A and B are shown apart, each in its own frame.
Chain A
Amino acid sequence: MTHALMQAFAMVFEPYTILVMILASLFGLFVGAVPGLSATMAVALLVPVTFFMQPIPAIAAMVTATAMAIFSGDIPGCLLRIPGTPASAAYTDEAFALTRKGEAELALGAGLVFSAVGGLFGTAVLIVASPALAEFALNFSSFEYFWLVLLGLTCAVFITSDRPLKGLITLMLGLLVACVGLGNPAGFPRFTFGNTEMTGGIGMIPMMIGMFAISEVIRYAVDTAPPGEVVVDKVGSVLRGQWALAKKYPVQILRGSTLGTAVGALPGAGADIAAWMSYAMSKKFSKEPEKFGTGHVEGIVESGSANNSALAGAWIPALVFGIPGDSITAIVIGVLYMKNLNPGPTLFTTNPQNIYAVFMLFIIANIIMIPLGILCIKVAKRILKVPRNVLMPLILIFCIVGTFAINNSVFDIGVMLVAGIVAYLLEENGFPIAPAILGVVLGGMLEENFITSMIKSDGNLLAFFTRPIAAGLAVLTLLVWGFPILRALLGRKRMAAA
């Protein structure tokens, strides 16, 4: 283990990796601070560049950029009342109310410091939980994997979305896209329509770039809302008073980080849902709930730590099972496969140095977040003035070139455009996008484990329930499926009673 740790240390502290981390941090801070550019988009835009890197610098770029972007999304929320990324939306009004009271530095500082704290907490859970889970998962057969993937997809549809029917539909669409091509257990070309480009399947990366970047460019093009105005002239020292906050709200920090890590680890739910849930939780358990919404920092402390801890939490199922915890890790998994670092429990046994390196990257990213974040807050006014009508065209051309770069294929650019338009239309009409992405990423795995299990059991469906862990996962999955039905029935009864 010491040997592997030393190797990991050497890989992480190589000058090249450090340089990549610093550049990725600046990129992440910028993307997060510009409204309309999300942390997921930052990763999608990074993929074409990381494609040409060694695995560890590539992962370093994605880990640091996302951590920074989730923090810096707080900045426009606080100064313009427009969240920089969806993960800051939960407490944007609160932060802006603080700004109105002349306490912008308190809100920004709390966002920064407790982002780092939450991120480190999530990392600690990642370090402790994932090797243990991996050891456990080594005994899994196709039956367990089948249920695990199904459970993940089920969670994405039923728990983390308030529209289960629409979530189910986007999940089906994602699974259908995953069926395209030769990559199925029978090796039969499906839905290729005689097109040679499609025999290899629909490229995951072009699709992600489309769904997360092109859809935002489209949204910006048709956005008629006027831009926000910065109301603050100067932001004071952001670190002042944070220690007092930490002493005042230790329970909130712990609760936010724990909830965030757990929500992050749940497939389909990421930093944004973690922030909403923990803001609501903070208000519910607060001693002064009446102050929420009027510029009270408590909720920012709690949900600010939640959204960053969710980032690390999402890596737990991603690394151990190859099941993404959020849309960011969905892209990361695609990159890991391209780098021959296929996620799964064997990643922990055969190449532990890579896993240790990932842990170290998380720790470093959350530590350098504080100085770089302060720097970012200092120049925030200038970032917010970057003309988006210049930025968006640049992002569009970057998407085109980046997509082309993966396979040197023009067909992929078409995939990107279609995915972008479809994602825009679906989101406009209240269809959640996360289940679709999970469907695309996990479709192959679900089918493979399903078919393998069917062949092993000779078509006997009962075999899916005979192994103890498989049976446990099956019961859990069915419970989650039954939950909305139960709720609907109970709701009806209550209505009938009333």
Chain B
Amino acid sequence: MKINDAVFGALLLALGIAVLAIVQGYPKIPGQQVGPALFPGLIACGLCIGGASLLWRGWRDRGATPWFAAGPWVRSPRHVLALVVVIAGVVFYMLAGERLGFLPCATLLLWALMWSLGVPPLRALVIAVISALAIHFAFYKLLRVPLPWGVLGGIAW
């Protein structure tokens, strides 16, 4: 996904200004000239200068480069779906992982992503279940990472 430099420039300029505004409220350290605001303040100045230059450059070349140019994948539903599943899958895991448990969440996420990438659904399900169990074994049993059990809490092994 190509975005015109001017858009990035404007966003960075806004970020720089926001940081400058926030650090104004940081405390001064008595008897010293340097406080916690100095370093982020300098970075924010850098962001403002960089953002402004980029904004100017993008604006100057606006005829040559479009504001937004999506890749060829946008016209392919399969690829859009795959992208959505990747991002939504991670968000889903973050929200539901604790309650549903690792095994159901991981299986679902693996199955959905494999299916959206073109693996036949049944084969995807078999691979998803086996790999979820294998990863669970490696991390929960061998490395002792407290992966949540969730709904399977009653039959935890």
Q: Give A contacts to B, CB under 8 Å.
A: 48-49, 52, 165-166, 168-169, 172-173, 175-176, 179, 184-186, 188, 190-191, 214, 217-218, 221-224, 387, 389-390, 392-394, 396-398, 400-401, 404-405, 408, 410, 413-414, 416-417, 421, 425, 428-429, 431, 446-447, 450-451, 454-455, 458-459
Given contacts A169-B50, A221-B86, A408-B146, contact A397 B135 (CB under 8 A): yes
In the bound complex, do residue B43 and residue A454 qualify as a contact, i.e. CB atoms below 8 Å apart? no
Q: How far is the CB of A401 from chain B (nearest CB, A)?
A: 5
Residues of A within 8 A of B87 (CB): 218, 417, 421
Q: Can you list 15 A-B contacts (CB < 8 A)?
A: A172-B50, A176-B15, A176-B47, A179-B40, A185-B36, A188-B27, A218-B86, A223-B73, A390-B127, A393-B128, A417-B87, A417-B94, A425-B3, A454-B33, A458-B33
Interface residues of B in 45-87 (CB under 8 A from A): 46-47, 50-51, 53-54, 57, 71-73, 76, 79-80, 82-83, 85-87
In the bound complex, do residue A172 and residue B94 qualify as a contact, i.e. CB atoms below 8 Å apart? no
Q: How large is the interface on B (under 10, 10 to 19, 20 to 34, 35 or more residues)?
A: 35 or more
Bound form: Cα–Cα A126–B32 in Å: 41
Assuming A165-B50, A425-B3, what are 11 further A-B pairs, CB within 8 angstroms? A168-B50, A179-B39, A188-B27, A188-B36, A222-B71, A224-B76, A394-B110, A413-B93, A413-B94, A417-B91, A459-B33
Residues of A within 8 A of B39 (CB): 179, 184, 446-447, 450-451
**Which residue on B lies nearest to A187, using beta carbons?**
B36
In the bound complex, do residue A451 and residue B38 qualify as a contact, i.e. CB atoms below 8 Å apart? yes
Bound form: Cα–Cα A175–B1 in Å: 25
In the bound complex, do residue B40 and residue A400 qualify as a contact, i.e. CB atoms below 8 Å apart? no
Given contacts A190-B40, A414-B94, contact A172 B46 (CB under 8 A): yes
Bound form: Cα–Cα A219–B106 in Å: 21
Interface digits, B1-34 against A, CB 8 Å rule (1 contact, 0 not)?
1110100100010010001001100110100111
Q: For the complex, is B90 an interface residue (Cβ under 8 Å from A)? A: yes
In the bound complex, do residue B36 and residue A184 qualify as a contact, i.e. CB atoms below 8 Å apart? yes
Q: What are the 7 closest A-B residue pairs judged by CB atoms, nearest first?
A: A389-B117, A221-B82, A393-B113, A222-B73, A188-B36, A186-B36, A459-B33
In the bound complex, do residue B8 and residue A429 qualify as a contact, i.e. CB atoms below 8 Å apart? yes
Q: For the complex, is B118 an interface residue (Cβ under 8 Å from A)? A: yes
Bound form: Cα–Cα A392–B8 in Å: 29
Residues of B within 8 A of A394 (CB): 110, 131
Q: How far is the CB of A49 from chain B (nearest CB, A)?
A: 7
Given contacts A221-B79, A410-B98, A429-B2, contact A396 B109 (CB under 8 A): yes
Residues of B within 8 A of A396 (CB): 86, 89-90, 109, 113
Residues of B within 8 A of A218 (CB): 83, 86-87
Residues of A within 8 A of B85 (CB): 221
Q: How far is the CB of B124 from chain A (nearest CB, A)?
A: 8
Given contacts A169-B12, A397-B131, contact A404 B33 (CB under 8 A): no
Residues of A within 8 A of B145 (CB): 401, 404-405, 408
Name A172's contact: one of B47, B93, B146 (CB within 8 Å).
B47
In the bound complex, do residue B54 and residue A401 qualify as a contact, i.e. CB atoms below 8 Å apart? no
**Which residue on A lies nearest to B5, using beta carbons?**
A429
Bound form: Cα–Cα A191–B20 in Å: 12
Given contacts A179-B40, A184-B36, contact A397 B110 (CB under 8 A): yes
Q: Is the interface of A mostly helix, strand, loop or mixed?
A: helix
Bound form: Cα–Cα A135–B39 in Å: 30
In the bound complex, do residue B34 and residue A401 qualify as a contact, i.e. CB atoms below 8 Å apart? no
Name A397's contact: one of B5, B46, B106, B143 (CB within 8 Å).
B106
In the bound complex, do residue B34 and residue A221 qualify as a contact, i.e. CB atoms below 8 Å apart? no
In the bound complex, do residue A172 and residue B43 qualify as a contact, i.e. CB atoms below 8 Å apart? yes
Bound form: Cα–Cα A242–B51 in Å: 51
Residues of A within 8 A of B29 (CB): 186
**Which residue on A lies nearest to B89, using beta carbons?**
A396
Residues of B within 8 A of A172 (CB): 43, 46-47, 50
Bound form: Cα–Cα A52–B143 in Å: 7
Name B139's contact: one of A214, A405, A421, A431 (CB within 8 Å).
A405
Bound form: Cα–Cα A218–B27 in Å: 41
**Which residue on A lies nearest to B97, using beta carbons?**
A410
Bound form: Cα–Cα A130–B71 in Å: 46
Residues of A within 8 A of B79 (CB): 221-224
Bound form: Cα–Cα A191–B41 in Å: 12
Residues of B within 8 A of A168 (CB): 46, 50
Given contacts A175-B43, A454-B33, contact A410 B94 (CB under 8 A): yes
In the bound complex, do residue A389 and residue B19 qualify as a contact, i.e. CB atoms below 8 Å apart? no
Q: For the complex, is B153 an interface residue (Cβ under 8 Å from A)? A: no
In the bound complex, do residue B86 and residue A429 qualify as a contact, i.e. CB atoms below 8 Å apart? no
Bound form: Cα–Cα A405–B118 in Å: 30
Q: How far is the CB of B31 from chain A (nearest CB, A)?
A: 10
Residues of B within 8 A of A446 (CB): 39
Name B1's contact: one of A166, A223, A428 (CB within 8 Å).
A428
Q: For the complex, is B119 an interface residue (Cβ under 8 Å from A)? A: yes
Q: How far is the CB of A153 from chain B (nearest CB, A)?
A: 11
Given contacts A428-B1, A429-B8, contact A451 B86 (CB under 8 A): no
In the bound complex, do residue B76 and residue A401 qualify as a contact, i.e. CB atoms below 8 Å apart? no
Q: How far is the CB of B125 from chain A (nearest CB, A)?
A: 12
Bound form: Cα–Cα A421–B91 in Å: 13
Given contacts A165-B53, A184-B36, A429-B8, contact A401 B147 (CB under 8 A): yes
In the bound complex, do residue B26 and residue A190 qualify as a contact, i.e. CB atoms below 8 Å apart? yes
Residues of A within 8 A of B82 (CB): 221-222
